[in-house]
């Protein structure tokens, strides 16, 4: 945290983030999928909440904000590498992991902004237990509805629906 404070000239706020997003070309009514790293922004007064509020203020309910909300800890533990777990644990984990519930299952390694966003009122989440997406705004239901369980990123995915809506991608401090 000291590094973030030291590298930030002035605190970021909802107002400064809103201005920055507008200067980048984001505007009311857009459909945008957001990938983010809160720490890359610098110190933010209000943290992830301020980032989500700024995005919503710029895009408004006339547009749509989408964020990936993957839950990789619901996958087979045999494939885990961050961290790997002992083989003798695998079946115990498989037998005891809670089922995916869109409103309560947390994301894993998606970041603070995503985890904050998915808990907001009127944010809906797709039904895929590993590769879900959350959305807010005009096309939220349409984008998150009927995600294919077998091809979570394919033709019947939120990504395809974003493409069909001529959506944009916003990368905040992350690569693609």
pLDDT digits (tens, 9 = 90+) for 92-148: 999 999 999 999 999 988 999 999 999 999 999 999 888 999 999 999 999 999 888
Residue 53 in tokens: 């509020």
Contact (CB, 8 A) for 10 and 19: no
**What single DSSP character describes residue 133?**
E
pTM score: 0.92
Q: Which residues of 40-68 are buried (b: 16+ CB within 10 A; e: fewer)?
A: ebbbbeeebbbbbbbbbebbeeebbbbbb
* Tokens coding 57: 């203020």
Number of domains in the chain: 1
Which domain does 148 fall in, by range?
2-172
φ, ψ of residue 31 to 5 degrees: the values are -105, 120
């Amino acid at each position: 945290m000291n590094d973030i404070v030291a590298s930030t000239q002035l605190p970021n706020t909802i107002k400064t983030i809103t201005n920055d997003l507008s200067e980048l070309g984001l505007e009311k009514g857009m459909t945008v999928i957001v990938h983010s790293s809160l720490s890359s922004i610098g110190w933010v007064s209000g943290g992830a909440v301020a980032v989500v509020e700024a995005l919503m203020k710029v895009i408004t309910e006339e547009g749509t904000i989408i964020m990936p909300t993957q839950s990789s800890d619901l996958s087979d533990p045999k494939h885990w590498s961050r961290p790997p777990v002992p083989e003798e644990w695998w079946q115990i984990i498989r037998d005891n992991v809670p089922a995916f519930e869109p409103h309560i299952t947390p994301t894993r390694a998606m970041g603070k902004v995503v985890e904050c966003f998915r808990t907001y009122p009127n944010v809906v989440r797709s039904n895929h237990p590993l590769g879900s997406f959350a959305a807010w705004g005009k096309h939220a239901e349409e984008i998150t509805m009927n995600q294919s369980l077998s091809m979570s990123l394919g033709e019947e995915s939120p990504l395809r629906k974003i493409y069909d809506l001529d959506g944009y991608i916003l990368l905040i401090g992350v690569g693609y």
